Amino acid sequence: MKFIVSSTALFSHLQAISRVINSRNSLPILDCFLFELRDGTLFMTASDNDTTLSTSIEVNESDSDGRFAVSSKTLLEALKEIPEQPLSFHIEPSNMEITVEYLNGKYSLMGQNADEYPQAQALGSNAVQVTMGAEILMNGVNRSIFATADDELRPVMNGIYFDISTEDITLVASDGHKLVRCKTYAARGAEKAAFILPKKPANLLKNLLPKEQGDVQIGFDDRNAMFTLENYQMICRLIEGRYPNYNSVIPQNNPHRAIIDRALFISALRRVSVFSSQSSSLIKLSLSENQMKISAQDIDFSTSAEETIACQYGGNPMSIGFKSSFLIDILNNISAQNIIIELADPSRAGVIVPEEQEEDEDLLMLLMPMMLND
C-alpha cells in the first residue's frame, strides 16, 4: 500500500486530533493514530475510548485502499520539522513496516494492526439533530467552559449543559460558586431536548472551532453526542444525570444596579487583589453615589489596599464581598465595554451582564458572595 500526501496538511490535521490522546492509556493501541485510506481520501482518527476525533485529507496519489495504526508521538515529532513537501508512505502489509520518504531522507517505523483499534460508538435511531453556526457554538463554549466544576461527587457539574428549545439554545456551566448562562436565539431545536457535554470534548471544540466556518451538525442520544464540523468529526460520551434547575438560583429582583467600565474594573481588581488574604482572595465592593470603592486586606501580614472608581449608581450605599479571582474570570469572559452588576443584598448572588448584549444573544453571569468580616 502506497500513498503520497502533503507534509504540512498531514501535520496540521494530526496535531489537531492528537489533543484527544491521553498521556496514559488503558489500551496501548490508543497511543496510536488510526489511518484509513479509501478512494483517494486519507481518514485519520484519534481516541481515548470516551472521545473519538476524526478528520480527512485528499492524498495526491495512492495505489490501493487499506488501514493501519501508528504511534502518534513518534509520527508527530518526526513531521514537526519537515517543511512543506510531498511525503511518500509505503506500508508493507505482511509485517506492518512503514517507510516515509521525503525530499532528503526517509523514516522507518513499525505500524500496528488497525483491527485492534476500538470502534467509535454509533448514535441510536432516536438521536436528536440540531444545527448551530460554528461561531455561535464557539462563543457559547468559550464563555461558559471556565465556570465548569471539577467535582467527583457531582459529575453533572463537570460539563456544559446544552438546553435546547424550539426558540433558542442555552449553554449553562456552574461550579456552585459562579454560573454562566449563554442563550442564543440564532439557533434552535425542533423539540425540547438537553445534554451535558464533558469538559474535555468541550475544550477540543474550543480549539477546533476557530478554524471552522459554516454550520456544525450536532446529533445526540442518551449516551453519546456527535459533532460534525467542516473538517472534523467528534463522537463523545455524554455525562449522564439530571442538571440542576439553573434558573431557580438567578435572583430576579435586584434593586441595586451599577454600570461600570469593564476594563477599568478589571485593572483595579488586579491591583487591589494583590493585598487580599491568600487563603480567601476576598475583596470588598462598596457602592455609593456614582462610585465604587474596591478594598482588600490581609490581617495576617498587615497589608491592605483600596481604590475608588467611577460608576453609574444611584441606590442606597451597599457593600458586598466576592472572591477576586472568580470575579476577574467572569469579567474576562464578557466582551462588552460596560458591564452591569445587579445586587439584592450582601448575602445573595450578584448578577453580572453586559450593558449591550451582542446580536441574538442573552449572556448572564452570576457570582456567589463571600461573608464580610465587618
Dig out the grid coordinates for 156 from the structure.
Answer: 453533572
Question: Phi-psi bin for 355: left (phi > 0), alpha (psi -120 to 50), beta?
Answer: alpha
- pLDDT tens for each residue of 267-295: 999 999 999 998 899 999 999 999 999 99
Query: What is this structure's pTM?
Result: 0.90
Among 261, 269, 271, residue whose Cα is nearest residue 340? 261
Per-residue model confidence (pLDDT) at position 374: 62
Q: Is 365 helix (H, G, I), strand (E, B) or coil?
A: strand
In the predicted structure, residue 83 carries a pLDDT above the cut 70:
yes
Q: Which domains can be identified in the chain, with CATH numbers?
A: 2-116 (3.10.150.10), 128-248 (3.10.150.10), 250-367 (3.10.150.10)
For 20-43, what is each residue's pLDDT tens digit? 998 888 888 999 999 999 888 999
Band (129; pLDDT cuts 50, 70, 90): very high
Rg (alpha carbons) of the chain, rounded to whole number:
25
**In this structure, are strands 66-71 and 61-62 parallel, antiparallel, or unpaired?**
unpaired
Q: Are 341 and 366 in contact (CB under 8 A)?
A: no
Distance CA 130, CA 133 (A): 10
**Is pLDDT above 90 for 161?**
yes
Q: What is the mean pLDDT of residues 1-19?
A: 92
Are 310 and 268 in contact, with CB atoms under 8 Å apart? no
Phi and psi angles of residue 146, each rounded to the nearest 5 degrees, phi first: -65, -20
